[in-house]
């Protein structure tokens, strides 16, 4: 294309030159010397045009070569990408085959377990049939023994038939009562054992079908920073940016010596998530000032409201609980940002819903009521910081307010015995809640470990001479040691700080860094009279 353009320009230049020379020839036909000069100039212009045409042809050839090279490179790149896509597809298919094979193995194992259960039931039925036959034989023998006793009494004794009959009946009644008591006790023990075995089977089946683990952090979130220079921009001039961020989000922004991270601390999971999203938006945008902080906060708040609504809808779908009121669904979605002893409350509610439904089916109870009540039993935890009272009672109030049935509301209200449970579904919700919370791996002891770590930090510092008080601050990242000024001078304070830091480093395991600050304060006061 470039060669064509150059050739056209060259032809145009030649045409103009020839035209100009032709005019010059006509005008200067009387002057022979001028004509010869014009002819030489025409010839010179023709040579230049040929040179330009040759240059254009060379540029065209070079462009064609470059186009061919680009085409070949594109073909090679396309082939490589097709090969990578084919390889990824084959890997995905292999993974899917492995997963299907595992599912088939689990299905076969479940069928074997069901087969063994059916065999055990058949064996139990056979045993009961034999016991019934034994009881029938015993009754026949008892009748025969009674007849022999009657005949013997009539032969040996001088009693009348009525007297003998009364004595025999009394003896038989006593024997039968004793045998009946033994039989009843044995049947009760067997029934109790069978009930316990069946209950264990039902609970084990429910746990096996819903076994999962959800542990989460409780009070802090971490935001990664591309560089530590952003910490100064987040703080802002005289701290105005960090004050604006903490004021509008309601969380504590902790900027310490941890490289490449900022810590957000708050007990409200929704606020903490909104603050995290706001800070990430500010970091991505690069403009950090109070006006931009407010704008990013409202954008993040709209996004988190949408996420909460989607989480509630997804939980309703996964728990197979249709027809929830939209406001109730929104409150349910907020549980996704609430934890209880490290366990995500929304995941816990879904797990309880599945467990209660499985046990309800096994026991012949109302599966719909059990499933619905178990999913909604902890929605009060989403607003416990806004409404006073036990979360079970708050949950039941919300269920009644939004049109749930009384059976569901009672099961929700009774799951912590705030009211006495009076239905099978209420008991199943209690059992499902206990199973989900108590099984291994469900709840972490992060809060207890956190408190123990703080106590260990303070204990290490208090063991040294001259220490008056010690405070572990900033989630255990800062230790403030108050010393007695009469026993510890400035030089000893520096040495004490080093010793405490070394002992913490040797005896404790902790993330990041811990700053040890020794404070020596001396005061002098005097009264003016």
CATH of 319-438, one of 3.30.420.40, 3.40.50.300, 3.30.2130.30, 1.10.3210.10: 1.10.3210.10
Confidence category of residue 406, pLDDT binned at 50, 70, 90? very high
Taking the alpha carbons at both ends of the chain, their separation in whole angstroms is 104
Q: Please count the other Cβ atoms lying within 10 Å of the Cβ belonging to residue 292.
A: 17
Question: Residue 442 in contact with residue 435, Cβ under 8 Å?
Answer: no
Choose between 180 and 446: higher pLDDT.
Answer: 180
Predicted pLDDT of residue 15: 62
Q: Is the sign of the CA dihedral 14, 15, 20, 24 positive or negative?
A: positive
Give dist(CA 219, CA 272) in Å, integer.
Answer: 8
Q: Tell me the pTM.
A: 0.44
State both tokens at 124.
Answer: 């139990």
Q: Rounded CA gap, 16 and 81, in Å?
A: 54
Comparing 220-309 with 446-520, is the CATH topology the same? no
Q: Is the CATH code 3.30.70.1350 the one for domain 446-520?
A: yes
**Angle subtended at Cα 238 by Cα 234 and Cα 239, rounded to the nearest 5 degrees:** 40
CA distance 420 to 414: 6
Instruction: Name the most confidently modeled range: 3-17, 137-151, 203-217, 411-425.
Output: 411-425
Per-residue pLDDT, averaged over 311-335, amounts to: 86
| pLDDT of res. 211 | 46
Q: What is the pLDDT of residues 435-465, one digit of tens each?
A: 777 655 555 445 567 678 888 888 998 988 8
Q: How confident is the model at residue 480 (pLDDT cuts 50, 70, 90)?
A: very high
More confident residue, 203 or 170: 170
Q: What are phi and psi of 517, to 5 degrees?
A: -120, 120
State yes or no: pLDDT of 169 exceeds 80.
Answer: no
Q: Name the CATH topology of 220-309.
A: Ribosomal Protein S8; Chain: A, domain 1 (3.30.1370)
Beta bridge partners of 478: 473, 515
The region of weakest confidence among 12-16, 95-99, 129-133, 314-318 is: 12-16
**CA separation for the pair 18, 35 (Å, rounded):** 13
Spell out the domain ranges in the chain: 2-84, 220-309, 319-438, 446-520
């Amino acid at each position: 294309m470039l060669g064509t353009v150059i050739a056209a320009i060259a032809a145009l230049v030649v045409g103009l030159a020839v035209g100009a020379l032709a005019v010059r020839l006509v005008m200067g036909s009387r002057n022979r010397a001028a004509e010869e000069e014009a002819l030489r100039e025409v010839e010179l212009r023709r040579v230049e045009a040929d040179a330009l045409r040759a240059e254009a042809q060379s540029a065209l050839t070079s462009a064609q070569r470059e186009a061919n090279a680009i085409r070949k490179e594109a073909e090679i790149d396309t082939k490589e990408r097709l090969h990578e896509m084919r390889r990824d597809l084959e890997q995905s298919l292999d993974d899917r085959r492995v997963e299907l094979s595992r599912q088939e193995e689990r299905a076969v194992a479940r069928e074997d377990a069901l087969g063994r259960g059916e065999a055990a039931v058949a064996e139990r039925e056979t045993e009961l049939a034999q016991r019934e036959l034994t009881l029938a034989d015993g009754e026949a023998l008892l009748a025969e023994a009674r007849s022999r006793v009657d005949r013997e009494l009539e032969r040996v004794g001088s009693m009348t038939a009525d007297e003998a009959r009364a004595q025999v009946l009394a003896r038989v009644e006593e024997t039968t009562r004793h045998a009946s008591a033994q039989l009843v006790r044995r049947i009760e023990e067997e029934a109790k054992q069978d009930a316990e075995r069946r209950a264990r089977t039902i609970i084990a089946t429910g746990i096996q079908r819903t076994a999962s683990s959800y542990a989460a952090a409780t009070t802090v979130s971490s935001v990664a920073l591309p560089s530590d220079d952003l910490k100064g921009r987040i703080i802002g001039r005289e701290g105005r940016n960090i004050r604006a961020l903490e004021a509008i989000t309601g969380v504590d922004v902790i900027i310490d010596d941890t490289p490449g991270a900022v810590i957000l601390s708050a007990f409200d999971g929704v606020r903490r998530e909104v603050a995290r999203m706001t800070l990430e938006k500010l970091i991505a945008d690069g403009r950090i000032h109070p006006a931009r902080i407010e704008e990013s906060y409202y954008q993040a708040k709209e996004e988190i409201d949408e996420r909460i609504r989607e989480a509630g809808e997804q939980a309703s779908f996964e728990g197979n609980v249709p027809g929830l009121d939209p406001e109730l669904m929104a409150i349910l979605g907020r549980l996704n940002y609430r934890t209880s002893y490290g366990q995500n409350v929304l995941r816990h509610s879904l797990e309880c819903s599945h467990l209660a439904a499985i046990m309800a089916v096994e026991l012949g109870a109302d599966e719909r009521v059990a499933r619905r009540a178990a999913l909604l039993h902890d929605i009060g935890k989403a607003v416990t910081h806004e409404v006073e009272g036990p979360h079970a009672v708050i949950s039941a109030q919300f269920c009644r307010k939004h049109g749930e049935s009384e059976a569901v509301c009672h099961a929700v209200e009774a799951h912590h015995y705030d009211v006495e449970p009076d239905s099978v579904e209420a008991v199943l919700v209690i059992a499902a809640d206990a199973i989900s919370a108590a099984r291994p791996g469900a709840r972490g002891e992060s809060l207890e470990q956190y408190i123990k770590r703080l106590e260990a930090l303070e204990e290490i510092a208090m063991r040294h001479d001259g220490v008056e008080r010690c405070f572990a601050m900033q989630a255990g990242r800062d230790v403030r040691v108050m010393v007695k000024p009469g026993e510890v001078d400035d030089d000893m304070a520096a040495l004490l700080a080093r010793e405490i830091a070394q002992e913490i480093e040797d005896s404790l395991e902790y993330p990041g860094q811990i700053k040890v600050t020794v404070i020596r304060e001396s005061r002098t006061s005097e009264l003016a009279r």
